[in-house]
Amino acid sequence: MARIVNPAVTPTAPQLLQSWLPDAEVVTRHRRRAAADGAALWQAARAIRLDDTRALGRLVRWRIPETPGDLPYAELFARPPFTVLDEGPDWSISGLVGRIWTLARDYPPLDGPDAFTAWATPGTVRVAFAHWVEPDGDGSVLRSEARVQAVDRRAALRLRSLWLAVGPFERLIGAEPLALAAARADRQA
């Protein structure tokens, strides 16, 4: 497992994510502030379902067939083809491997964090997704970060081509669940 181990310091989700994929070719980051406290924001974020999000929910269900629309994102990231790499009371990190650029939906299942770390199949990538809450003045911030790291040069070239096509649209759909979570947490607070 890639966890940072230093008993004197509690690592943060971003530090842990960096330890899982330190040499990522693609990194995306999103954040959304809420007036609600961190616990309420995290609870709201964990309850967002695929059907609650328009573009992202449809994209996930297209790329991972037979995924129910009423599935919360928190559960999505905890079931195949994802695997939970690490988690805490207000954060989680999940991983996925495969050829993310194909229409074949080639995402082999992983048998835990060690399988993610050991993944080295040529022509594939490892992807890590982190979600966490941080305090922010009298409210809190929900953050997400995704990292994609190619296993070899061939995969890096394919990833670069894919990112040229989809990268410009990522900002439009990647933050949608965070905005919903912040709005729900604020309404409930």
Q: How far apart are CA 90 and CA 38, in angstroms?
A: 8
Q: What is the pLDDT of residue 9?
A: 52
Query: pLDDT (tens digit, 9 = 90+) per residue, 128-179?
Result: 999 999 999 999 999 999 999 999 999 999 999 999 988 888 877 788 999 9
Q: How far apart are CA 19 and CA 27, in angstroms?
A: 14
Neighbours of 18 (CB within 10 A): 20
Q: If DSSP codes are grouped into helix, strand and coil, which group holds residue 38?
A: helix
Nearest Cα to Cα of residue 84 among 26, 75, 46: 75
Region of residue 11 (left: phi > 0; alpha: psi -120 to 50; beta: else):
beta
Nearest Cα to Cα of residue 32 among 180, 146, 188: 180
Tell me the average pLDDT across 10-19.
Answer: 84
Q: What is the pLDDT of residue 13?
A: 86
Where along the chain do its domains lie?
Answer: 22-188
Q: What is the pLDDT of residue 4?
A: 47
Q: How far apart are CA 138 and CA 25, in angstroms?
A: 35
> In terms of C-beta density within 10 A (0-12 exposed, 13-18 middle, 19 or more buried), how is residue 146 classed?
buried
Average pLDDT, the chain: 91
Chosen CATH of 22-188 out of 3.40.50, 3.30.530, 2.60.40, 3.30.70: 3.30.530
Structure tokens at 5: 């181990």
Query: pLDDT (tens digit, 9 = 90+) per residue, 21-56?
Result: 999 999 999 999 999 999 999 999 999 999 999 888
